A and B are shown apart, each in its own frame.
Chain A
Amino acid sequence: MEKYVTKLWLTILFIVISGGSLYPQSLPLDDLYSRIQNKLKEDKSYLNIHSVPLQLKDGEIQNLQNIPRSDEKAPFSFQISDNTTYNIIFLKEAIEVDSINVLFVNEITDKAAAGETFFGDAGSGPQIDTTIVLTFKDIQELYFYNKEKYDFFFNYVKTYLKEDEARSLLGINVDEDIKKSKGISSTNNLDFLNFMRVNYNHRYPKPALQKRAGRSRRGATTEQSATSMQIDATFTSVSFFHETLDFGFSTLSGEVSLGNRVLNIHPMQSMTLKGGLRFLISVSEDNQDLDNDFLLDAKLMGRMRLNTASFADKVPFLFIKKPKLNVGSGLIVDLSATRLFGLPFLNFYIATGSQELEKPYVQFGTNDSSVAYYSSQQWEASMSFFWNSNEALTLRFRMDLGAANYNVIEFLYKNGISKKLVFNQIQPFVSFHMNFAPKNNDFLGTNFRYYDGQLSFNFWLKLFELPPEHTFRFETFYITAPLFRSVRPWELEEGTSLIQIRYRYGF
């Protein structure tokens, strides 16, 4: 019986001993070392590890001689040399890693400087050779069996980080790779200002410099402009601004132009000349800050009739026939406001004048019986939405949604004058604008608008810039004939286009 008991005890003893000693061997420690070393070697982009240069002093080198290494490799001794430097690569604290972990140490040797090159001489430039002298497994074995050596590297890194910053070895640039499902829309006036600075014919101050302006009010700062005035001129319009008209909270500029904003006609076809003042009013609590202030852009203009029809069909850059609609003299109010109480950017335009047409520039029929069409009033109200394709603001978009109205009065000249309102409808309109401005440099822009069954298209391209701030653009406009409906008597049967050059100075 005792024999069996002895055997039983022996068996238990064997199991316990073998279990205790074999169990750790079944754990894949070597496997894990291999994986980590492979990852440290192969992964060039995702490793969130850091490096500090190891600059050894004479007193320290003694401790770093004959450092034992794993896998029967010969011990390694650090040396102080002009041609050899060392880097300690380590892992900073992470979610599950409480302290710095030294991962490996590499040696960088400039063989050219050491005169070890076979071809050429040292003057041919550095020949860098990087070798891992202490692998991850070596370091770990130091940690377990030679703590003093490990602590040297550990403490070196800790001391270095107190005074300096470690070099990140992360290969990906997470700041550049920020992904967004779509583009971006600014939370303030930035998109509005960017659009207006590029497309509008009046001045919007550019981002301010730090220098304080002598003339500025309420802490306003000077704009980043080399010129004291701005001019925007085409064959059909001119606007101008001078710095003396900058009153801080408001600026004033002037404009003279042809054209009509609501009607689907080109400037020459409107047979009116308008002129007036434009105010840019900034409402701010303290210092002027266009990006965040409430801005009101207001134009007050007068409109007078001008017989451009007499030569419109002869102008070489205007590919149209003679217009058919007379537009009356009157007053124009044109307002744009930035987001008030979180509302979209709002626009309102009205041009109104007398309903009497004394002497039409265009009429049809015979001397005994003729008819003229006349529009005395136009208005438009819309909301503007802005967005960009990405944070670089390279492609910038604007969409206007709103409603517009114009009236058409028919004047019949037969045995006297009789008139009848033949058109007065409120209709929706939509317009899309796109600007291409790589590196904030406006290069081209385009715009589509659909209103009253007609599509109008506008495209511009920057031709060249001359110092200090002269810019020339090529512009083209096209308005289609009515789509999805019949042509009205005051409309042209075919599409019309206009080509012109725009000169901008100081914008």
Chain B
Amino acid sequence: MKKLYFVLLLLIIPFSLVKAQDNRETLTDLKKIYESLEYNTIAFDDLKQKWIINDPLFIREIFNRFVVRDALRLNEAKVDIETVKKLTQQIYDGVVVIDLRKRYYDSEVELFAFINVDEIGKEEPKYLFDPIIDGFYLREIIGGALYERVKVEGYFLSDITKKIYDVKPGYFFDVKLNLLEPEVMFWNTTSDYRNKYLLSLFGMWGNDRIFIPGWYSKEYVAGLKLTYYKTISQNPKNFTYSVSVGASLPSGRPFVGDKTYKPLFISGKSLYFNIIGDPLKFVFDDFEDFQVMLEVKYTMDDYAKKDYGITDSLDFYSNRTYFNIEAKKRNLFNLFDFGQFEIGLGVSNPDINWYRITKRNAKVIDLEAGKKEWTDKFNHHVYLDLGAVRTGGLIQHSTNFIISHNLKDGGYFGLKTQVMLSENFGFDVRIFSMYGTEKKKMAPWREDSYLVFSPIIRINY
């Protein structure tokens, strides 16, 4: 008898296994057909509209339709009541949300999945049930009316659509019209089709790092800037290094005027040099986003009396030299979706010279000659820069809070922000306020607060 059973078993097992295998292959083939029916837009997956339904009642409503329709599947098989109960409990606990993605060329849903909140943002999230990859099947499950409500997004949701960069570094031109720091990228080339050298004209009105910003300065630096991308990046801030060389030009002060305090004049022809790079990257390949900046201005000669265009007697000041060093770590973390947090530390060292022009004297008089060594003319600011930068999407910004300390006449704290709409239009506002010294004791050329701003127009193709 035992032998008979054994023979029967040997006959039946292969038959059953072959049948199961056939069905599995059929299912696989049908799934491939099902998944291939639509026009393939896989290249746009990361740009498709994505959102998460957070509304607890709405989630229950949808989930209940799945239960009623018996449409929950796990590894392509129906789920048992225990699994449903378990998920229901998670929904009661509020840890289940719905992950959705729309098709690229129309507004139908192409991905729908119940997901634990802890899985959001992961590259390969673990869904609680098999995701629905067909909006028409989803409509069949939850009904036409509810499906339309899901599509119109008229409920509490979190939009997690990837924001693409609108800036195209190194295509043809990148014109950034900003009174405070304009830049015109007008030429580019490559040596191996992966890298880019961009050549720009740049301007800089005043200098925030020495706390004489924008139109409070009678000095406008203009020159050429070379920016190098080792690998062309969609994020324009990911350059490998940039070198700027320029000269100082006299500028007016259209919004400030020459008030009673003594202004800072240009007292000679000067050269400006700035280099920003990531030196540690040359040593450690994985160490990224650590930027070091070195900035120098040096005045090479002295203006004659006639060059100032001043006919009356006047005492005035001049900043002839500065050298600044700054280190900044970018992209530290996402600060509450406000932007990528960055932190910088810098030292700036401007000198201040005191001169006099009189009607009788044919030469400009250095009022500190013989009294001060050239090193004594320097101020030393140490500053901390905490910022958040958001690139891509409709609104981009860089917002930095800066606080400095200067032993001579107090420090400054302030805010610098540039906000752009689609990288086309925006504004630049910088505000600084002095602390730690009385107004009466301040150097005559200093202001206790500064406010500068400029509209920005950016054309980038």
Residue ranges of A at the interface with B (Cβ–Cβ < 8 Å): 2, 5-6, 9-10, 12-13, 16-17, 19-21, 23-24, 26-29, 31-33, 35-36, 38-40, 42-43, 45-49, 91, 94-97, 101, 103, 140, 144, 170, 172, 174, 177, 181-185, 187, 341-344, 383, 385, 387, 397, 399, 401, 430, 484-485
CB <8 Å contact, A45 and B105: yes
- Complex Cα distance A144/B6, Å? 32
Q: Which chain A positions have C-beta within 8 A of B254? A: 484-485
Among A19, A177, A385, A387, the one with the most B-chain Cβ atoms within 10 Å of its Cβ is A385
CB <8 Å contact, A39 and B137: yes
CB <8 Å contact, A172 and B105: yes
CB <8 Å contact, A35 and B134: yes
Q: Which of B37-45, B56-64, B150-158, B401-409 contacts A (4 or more CB under 8 A)?
A: B37-45
B332 contacts the other chain (Cβ, under 8 Å)?
Answer: no
- Complex Cα distance A2/B459, Å? 90
CB <8 Å contact, A39 and B37: yes
- Complex Cα distance A43/B136, Å? 7
Given A95-B36, A387-B459: A177 and B105 interface contact (C-beta under 8 Å): yes
Sample (16) of A-B pairs whose CB atoms are under 8 Å apart: A6-B2, A9-B6, A20-B12, A32-B27, A36-B33, A42-B139, A46-B38, A46-B106, A91-B37, A94-B40, A184-B461, A185-B173, A343-B186, A343-B187, A399-B175, A401-B175
Residue of A nearest to B203 (CB): A428
CB <8 Å contact, A385 and B37: no
B351 contacts the other chain (Cβ, under 8 Å)?
Answer: no
CB <8 Å contact, B186 and A383: yes
Given A13-B12, A399-B175: A28 and B17 interface contact (C-beta under 8 Å): no
Residue of A nearest to B461 (CB): A185
User: Which residues 154-171 of B have a CB within 8 angstroms of A?
Assistant: 164, 166, 168, 171
CB <8 Å contact, B27 and A29: yes
B30 contacts the other chain (Cβ, under 8 Å)?
Answer: yes
CB <8 Å contact, B73 and A28: yes
Residue of A nearest to B130 (CB): A28
9 additional A-B residue pairs with CB within 8 Å, beyond A185-B461, A342-B188: A13-B5, A19-B16, A24-B22, A26-B78, A43-B108, A46-B39, A48-B36, A343-B186, A344-B187
CB <8 Å contact, B32 and A96: yes
B376 contacts the other chain (Cβ, under 8 Å)?
Answer: no
Given A16-B13, A401-B184: A36 and B30 interface contact (C-beta under 8 Å): yes
B251 CB to nearest chain A CB (Å): 11
- Complex Cα distance A20/B9, Å? 12
B131 CB to nearest chain A CB (Å): 13
CB <8 Å contact, A20 and B27: no
CB <8 Å contact, A183 and B36: no
Q: How many residues of B contact A (CB 8 A)?
A: 59
User: Which residues 164-204 of B have a CB within 8 angstroms of A?
Assistant: 164, 166, 168, 171-173, 175, 177, 184, 186-189
B19 contacts the other chain (Cβ, under 8 Å)?
Answer: yes
B283 contacts the other chain (Cβ, under 8 Å)?
Answer: no
B5 CB to nearest chain A CB (Å): 4
B441 contacts the other chain (Cβ, under 8 Å)?
Answer: no
- Complex Cα distance A485/B73, Å? 74
B195 CB to nearest chain A CB (Å): 15
B187 CB to nearest chain A CB (Å): 6
Among B1, B108, B172, B254, the one with the most A-chain Cβ atoms within 10 Å of its Cβ is B172
Residue of B nearest to A426 (CB): B249
Q: Which chain B positions have C-beta within 8 A of A5? A: 2
Residue of B nearest to A136 (CB): B33
CB <8 Å contact, A182 and B166: yes
User: Which residues 93-108 of B have a CB within 8 angstroms of A?
Assistant: 103, 105-106, 108
CB <8 Å contact, A20 and B16: yes
Given A13-B8, A38-B140: A181 and B39 interface contact (C-beta under 8 Å): no
Residue of B nearest to A12 (CB): B9
Q: Which chain B positions have C-beta within 8 A of A26? A: 77-78
CB <8 Å contact, A181 and B105: no
Residue of A nearest to B71 (CB): A31
CB <8 Å contact, B140 and A29: no
Q: Which chain B positions have C-beta within 8 A of A20? A: 12-13, 15-17, 19-20
Q: Which chain B positions have C-beta within 8 A of A172? A: 39, 105-106
- Complex Cα distance A172/B23, Å? 35
Residue ranges of B at the interface with A (Cβ–Cβ < 8 Å): 1-2, 5-6, 8-9, 12-13, 15-17, 19-20, 22-24, 26-27, 30-40, 73, 76-78, 103, 105-106, 108, 134, 136-137, 139-140, 164, 166, 168, 171-173, 175, 177, 184, 186-189, 254, 459-461
Q: Which chain A positions have C-beta within 8 A of B22? A: 24
CB <8 Å contact, B103 and A24: no
CB <8 Å contact, B38 and A385: no
CB <8 Å contact, A13 and B9: yes
CB <8 Å contact, A46 and B105: yes
Given A9-B5, A29-B27, A343-B186: A94 and B140 interface contact (C-beta under 8 Å): no
CB <8 Å contact, B5 and A10: yes
Q: Which chain B positions have C-beta within 8 A of A140? A: 30
Residue of A nearest to B139 (CB): A42
A224 CB to nearest chain B CB (Å): 28
CB <8 Å contact, B187 and A183: no
B208 CB to nearest chain A CB (Å): 22
Q: Which chain B positions have C-beta within 8 A of A342? A: 187-189
Q: Which chain B positions have C-beta within 8 A of A485? A: 254
B444 CB to nearest chain A CB (Å): 26
Q: Which chain B positions have C-beta within 8 A of A385? A: 172-173, 175, 459, 461
Q: Which chain B positions have C-beta within 8 A of A45? A: 105-106, 108
Residue of A nearest to B164 (CB): A181
Q: Which chain B positions have C-beta within 8 A of A343? A: 186-187
Q: Which chain B positions have C-beta within 8 A of A397? A: 459
Residue of A nearest to B18 (CB): A20
Given A10-B5, A43-B136: A97 and B106 interface contact (C-beta under 8 Å): no
Residue of A nearest to B15 (CB): A20
Residue of A nearest to B460 (CB): A182
- Complex Cα distance A24/B27, Å? 9
A153 CB to nearest chain B CB (Å): 15
- Complex Cα distance A36/B140, Å? 12
Q: Which chain A positions have C-beta within 8 A of B35? A: 96
B44 CB to nearest chain A CB (Å): 8
B135 CB to nearest chain A CB (Å): 8
Q: Which chain A positions have C-beta within 8 A of B164? A: 181
CB <8 Å contact, A97 and B36: yes
Q: Return the contact of A16 from the options B2, B9, B30 (Cβ within 8 A).
A: B9
- Complex Cα distance A341/B173, Å? 14
Residue of B nearest to A47 (CB): B37
Q: List 6 tightest A-B contacts by C-beta distance, closest first.
A: A20-B16, A24-B23, A185-B461, A94-B36, A9-B5, A48-B39
